[in-house]
């Protein structure tokens, strides 16, 4: 951290932006194993909110790793840095008055706790997409589990790297036996209450 920086406080605040948008802004963090449905659900919920004229934006793990975080690996320390950077980006977006969706495996509890420190506890909603490893492997949308089982991928969450499930998420969606439509509706109902 540079000792030669001074934070500049601007006259337009988050509250001013929320007033123009006519809704609160916050970060909705989707966590769960790869293939659990995080990005799918975040995307569908965003579509529904967009129809209601809610200002939104989605941050996705693969998309972020192709850009700002392309220098990071999947080693534990890089995973932590990946999540920290995303939290900082999300914090700027929340300050801009945007309901921000983040769909990231984010396997470590300590990293998810750090997000709360960065964006503020009052601006953070944690949604645990609780899908069994068996179901995620059955789906294997990206073919990652097959590669991990064959030893081609190191540090695969759920296989050779741990996933620490949230202890007390704001919302838990169990997708193994629930339709996408039902999951979207549950999340939507929860978020709409928070917008007021």
Q: Which helix (H) or strand (E) holds 163?
A: none
Q: Which helix (H) or strand (E) holds 130?
A: strand 124-130
User: Is 116 annotated as ligand-binding?
Assistant: no
Closest CA to 177 of 142, 141, 134: 134
| Residue 119: how many other CB atoms lie within 10 Å | 23
User: Is 58 annotated as ligand-binding?
Assistant: no
Instruction: Point out the catalytic residue in the list 2, 25, 55, 106.
Output: 106
User: Is 67 annotated as ligand-binding?
Assistant: no
Alpha helices (runs of H) in 120-169, residue ranges in sequence order: 133-139, 144-149
User: Is 38 annotated as ligand-binding?
Assistant: yes
User: Is 195 annotated as ligand-binding?
Assistant: no
User: Is 70 annotated as ligand-binding?
Assistant: no
And the tokens for 134?
């068996």
Q: Is 106 a catalytic residue?
A: yes
Output the known binding site.
32-39
Give the active site residues. Answer: 106
Binding residues for ATP: 32-39
């Amino acid at each position: 951290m540079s000792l030669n920086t001074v934070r500049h406080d601007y006259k337009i605040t988050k509250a001013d932006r929320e007033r123009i948008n006519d809704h609160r802004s916050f970060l909705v963090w989707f966590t769960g194993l790869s293939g659990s449905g995080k990005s799918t659900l975040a995307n569908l919920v965003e579509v529904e909110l967009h129809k209601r004229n809610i200002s939104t934006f989605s941050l996705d793990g693969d998309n972020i790793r192709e850009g700002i975080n392309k220098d990071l690996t999947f080693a534990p320390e890089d995973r932590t840095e990946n999540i920290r950077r995303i939290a900082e980006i999300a914090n700027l977006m929340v300050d801009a008055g945007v309901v921000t969706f983040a769909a990231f495996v984010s396997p470590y509890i300590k990293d998810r706790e750090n997000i709360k420190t960065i964006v503020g506890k009052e601006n953070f909603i944690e949604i645990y997409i609780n899908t069994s490893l068996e179901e995620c492997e059955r789906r294997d949308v990206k073919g990652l589990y097959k590669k991990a089982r064959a030893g081609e991928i190191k540090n695969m969450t759920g296989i050779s790297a741990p996933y620490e499930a949230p202890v007390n998420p704001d919302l838990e969606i169990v997708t193994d036996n629930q339709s996408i439509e039902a999951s979207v509706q549950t999340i939507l109902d929860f978020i709409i209450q928070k917008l007021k």
